[in-house]
Structure formats: structure tokens, C-alpha cells
Chain A
Amino acid sequence: MTEDKEWRIALAGNPNTGKSTLFNALTGLRQHTGNWPGKTVVHAEGSFTYNDKTYKIIDLPGTYSLLSNSADEEVARDFIIFEKPDVTIVVLDATALERNLNLALQVLEMTDQVIVCINLIDEARKKGIEINKSLLSKKLGVPVLTISARNGEGIDELLKTIDLMVNGKIKTNPLKLQYGPDIEEKIAKLIPLVTKLFGTEYPARWVALRLLDGDHSLLDALKRDYHSSVRRMTANGYSCSC
């Protein structure tokens, strides 16, 4: 028997990390957008089933960061914050981990339900790059897997991890960066105000940080979403996100 609920998974990652390859490996041909050249820039959706669960998977635009330097980054950021996927998979390039990890740290500040997937591990091995994934997992506080989406390596383990995570069997403790005393003090001042205004709708610490770095596009997006959530509440308790 298949459960009725459709779980939603978002794929985030730098451009050219094989995100689309992983997307294709998971969905096969069950995807709703054509495979146009340049496909990575238009967000694609697909679905798959595993262990009697149905998953919808959303391939977010490939970005280097989520601090809204471009329209792409806003799309990816808004999805994670406002659509609240059940699991966010961050795909990293094993051969350029240092640059890729920046994005992972940013995602960890936004949501707890994260799986870090180090892709292109076969290429890294060839180059003599070794990654201690259990140590990385300990540091990040979320599951870390090494995969090669091209060769199908590690996909099974990924599916199992997703399954465990949506079942609530994995307790994560994502790394929250500490920004030094004076910034932390400001964050501490803002968090209660953010919680008062939005409740637990958004990750308060993360919103406080964005308020501090003056991310106007986020403020606008918050305002938009916030108005529609007010409307949602006023519609006689009806919850409708249309």
C-alpha cells in the first residue's frame, strides 16, 4: 500500500555539481519539464516512489550562495523558506568542496531537514582527494553521503536516508554558525521580535541575520508571504495556499 501523502524534496547546490544528473537518476523519465539545453536554469519537478512513499522532487536553480545576489538565488531561497520542503538535499562537488560547502552552511541555517550529498566522488578519488564523511557529518550535524550520480553509486543509501528522515528517525543538529560577540548580541535582540511577529513560521535566527545584512529582496518576499498568510488565517480558518 502506498501512503497518500506526497513528500517534497528540494535539490540545492552549486551549478555544475551534477545536480541534474542526480535529479534524473532519482526520477527516471517521470519529470514535468523537457530536457532543454540549459535545463539547469529552469526549475524542474519530478516524482518517484520508494518504500511505499511518493516523493515530489524539485530541482532548484544551481547557485553559489543563497544570499540573494541574483534572481536564481532568490528563487532557491524562497522555496526553502516559504515552501518548506520535507527534505532539502544539498549536492556538493567532491572536487571543489571548499567552495561548495558555503552553500551547505547557508542551508543549514534555514532548515533542520537537510541531507548533504557529496557528488562526483569517483572523480575526487581519481584526483586523490579523500573526504572523511563521518567527521564532516559530525561537524555539520546532518547526514553526509558520498555518491556518484552518474554511476548510480550511493543512490540506494540516499533513498534510505530520505526515507528515515521523513519518518522522523534521524535527529539532526545542524551547525549554527557563531558570528562573534557583537553580532550575536544583535541577533539575540532581534530574535524575540521576529518570533513575536512571525511565530515559528520562519527560522527566527536566520531571519534576524538577513535583517542585519539588509537583504531587501527577502524583506519584500517576507512581506508578500506574510500578507498572504494573514489572508489564509482570515479565511474562516480555511487553509488554502492558492
Chain B
Amino acid sequence: MMDSTKLVPLSNCSPGQKFKIVQLELIGTMRYRLLDLGFVPGAVISVQQKSPLGDPTAFRVNNTMIALREEESSKIFGEVIEND
């Protein structure tokens, strides 16, 4: 799956970075939930802030802040497009 380019999981990004989603490697309810929230292929999201205990992390997507745990963000693949 990952052979094509330099796709990285969202969980590897740190606050301040911007990330463009290429694909979601999730199925079922969680996939639809993430799509509902705007984590759709092509969307640009920015990494905002980690929780005091390190996880979850808040992301800005579609003008809204959404927090995801590492379990989910590690299955969202895409490319880093901008560093602060």
C-alpha cells in the first residue's frame, strides 16, 4: 500500500505542521465518522495541540478542532505540506 511515495501517517506529525490527507486505512463506523468530520481525502488539516498527557492530539479540519487518539491518526495517511 505504502510503496508509492512518501505517504506518512498523521500521527507522525507534530503541532504546527499542515497535512494533506491521501487515504484512510480504516473501515466501518470509524471510517464514516472520520469522513463525517471532514477527514476526507484531499482535505488539508493542521496539527494543533497535544493533550497534557501526550495523547490525544487536536487537529484543525474544516474550521473545527477535532481530537483523535493515536490509534486513529496513525491510520490516516497523507503528506506533510508545510512546516511552521
A and B from one complex:
yes
Residues of A within 8 A of B (CB): 64-65, 67, 69, 95-96, 98-99, 102
Q: How many A-B residue pairs have CB under 8 A?
A: 24
Cβ of A99 and Cβ of B62 under 8 Å apart?
yes
Cβ of B33 and Cβ of A96 under 8 Å apart?
no
- B64: chain A residues at CB < 8 Å are 96, 99
Assuming the contacts A64-B36, A102-B36, asked whether A69 and B62 have C-beta atoms less than 8 A apart, the reply is: no
**Complexed CA–CA distance, A102 and B37 (Å):** 10
**Complexed CA–CA distance, A102 and B62 (Å):** 12
Cβ of B38 and Cβ of A98 under 8 Å apart?
yes
Select A69's contact among B29, B38, B63, beta carbons within 8 Å: B29
- B32: chain A residues at CB < 8 Å are 65, 67, 69
Select A95's contact among B36, B37, B63, beta carbons within 8 Å: B63
- SS of A interface (majority): helix
Select B33's contact among A69, A95, A98, A99, beta carbons within 8 Å: A69
Shortest C-beta distance, A97 to chain B (Å), equals 9
Which one of B29, B36, B37 has the highest number of Cβ atoms from chain A below 10 Å of its Cβ? B36
Interface size, chain B (Cβ < 8 Å) = 9
Cβ of B33 and Cβ of A64 under 8 Å apart?
yes
- B38: chain A residues at CB < 8 Å are 98-99
- B63: chain A residues at CB < 8 Å are 95-96, 99
Shortest C-beta distance, B73 to chain A (Å), equals 18
Shortest C-beta distance, A127 to chain B (Å), equals 8
Assuming the contacts A69-B29, A69-B32, asked whether A64 and B37 have C-beta atoms less than 8 A apart, the reply is: yes
Shortest C-beta distance, A213 to chain B (Å), equals 10
Type the 1/0 row for B23-44, where 1 means its CB is closer than 8 Å to any CB of A. Answer: 0000001001100111000000
In the complex, chain B residues 26-84 whose Cβ is within 8 Å of any chain A Cβ = 29, 32-33, 36-38, 62-64
**Complexed CA–CA distance, A236 and B33 (Å):** 45
**Complexed CA–CA distance, A64 and B62 (Å):** 13
**Complexed CA–CA distance, A96 and B61 (Å):** 9
- B29: chain A residues at CB < 8 Å are 69
Cβ of B36 and Cβ of A98 under 8 Å apart?
no
- A67: chain B residues at CB < 8 Å are 32
Shortest C-beta distance, A79 to chain B (Å), equals 19
Query: Which residue on chain B has the smallest CB distance to residue A98?
Result: B62
- A64: chain B residues at CB < 8 Å are 33, 36-37
Shortest C-beta distance, B44 to chain A (Å), equals 12
